[in-house]
Every structure is written in structure tokens, then in C-alpha cells.
A = this chain, B = another copy of it.
Amino acid sequence: MEFSSKLLENAVNEMSQLPGIGKRTALRLVLHLLKQPEQQSQKLASALLQMRESINFCSNCHNISDTQLCKICANPRRDEKLVCVVEDIRDVMAIENTSQYRGHYHVLGGKISPMDGVGPGDLTIVSLVEKIKIGNISELIFALSSTMEGDTTNFYIYKQIEPYNITTTTIARGISVGDELEYADEVTLGRSILHRIPFESSLKSL
């Protein structure tokens, strides 16, 4: 792509560094900004800069937070002995949206993935094990995505905390609500039969 302006080329190049944004999309976004009042570009730029410079992570659960302890960890009505291990802050938001969970979280910051060069040391596993060592946690819920990387990470953490003898659970795998049985994959369907639950308790969660 050849640009008629260096400034435009520079903006498109920087924009296309973002994941899933190619050169063509970047050009469309940048031309949109050009058509809008100058203020909009200024607001976008300063919002990004401020976020990058001043963002904080909760010292307990590593969730993004403006305060030293995040709202969830600082809430005395939440059960601090119950901890849900998630990959990143989007998972926290997704689980919070369900209003079904009243415990704490632990945000790992990723999954163990040798292909992407992410080892256990790049995640917040040490601080999780530390919390368990102190004895503050009675149950750990694994809520990572059900991929090879997620399973590897679950297993790695499981091995690390085995000596401390706490309850470890994992979120249920099964047929999504509203899904047709015939379109489900065998593994999911198989697991959902293997881990069937009493009919009465399925009524309770409605």
C-alpha cells in the first residue's frame, strides 16, 4: 500500500499493530478519525495513554483495578476462602455478569503455552501458591478454557498445590443451555452424561 502522506502512513502502521487490525481496516479507522472533530482523536489518544501509564493491578487477585485492592477483594461480603482461577480479566467480567459467584478470583494473566513462549514463570502462579500456603483458601475453582493450554495450566497448578490438601474443583463441562444435542461434539456430550447431576438440583438453578 502506498500512501500519499507520511503522517497518514505512520498512523496506519501503528494502528495495524493491534491484533486483528490489518492495514485496510487501520486505514478505514484512521480516515474515520480524520472526518471526526479533532477532539475525538485527542480523547482517544489521552485515554490510551492515561490507561497505560496509571493502570494498577489488585495486589491480591491481579485483576485490573484503580485501587490497591480491587472492589471484589475489598468487599467483606465475598467469601475469601473460595477462589476462582481465571485466565484474564475478561473472564472475571463474564463470571461477574452471571451473579452466581460470591467468592474471590485469581487472575493468572494467561495460560501456559510453550508455543507462544509463555511459561509458568510468566503467570501469577507463585502468588497463588503463596496464598494457599498461608492457608487462606479452602476451595480452588479452575475456570480456564477447555483447551490443551488450559488443561496444562490446570494440571501444573494442581501439582504445585497438591501438598496443601485443599479442595480443587473445575467448572462443569456440558451441553450449553439452548443447544441441540445432535450438534454437540462427542467429548462434551460424553462428559455431560458421565457427570450428570440430580434432576432436583438442575431445577434449583433455574
Residues of A whose CB lies within 8 Å of any CB of B are 1-8, 10-11, 13-15, 17-21, 25, 27-34, 38, 40-56, 58, 63-66, 70-72, 88-90, 92-93, 96-97
Complexed CA–CA distance, A18 and B44 (Å): 10
Tell me what chain A mostly uses at the interface: helix, strand, loop, or mixed: helix
A8 interface neighbour in B3, B45, B55, B88, Cβ under 8 Å: B55
Name A45's contact: one of B7, B46, B56 (CB within 8 Å): B46
Q: A5-B55, A7-B55, A18-B33 are in contact. List 16 more A-B contacts (CB 8 A).
A: A2-B93, A2-B96, A6-B66, A7-B51, A13-B47, A14-B47, A17-B44, A18-B44, A30-B48, A33-B48, A38-B53, A41-B49, A42-B52, A44-B45, A44-B48, A45-B45
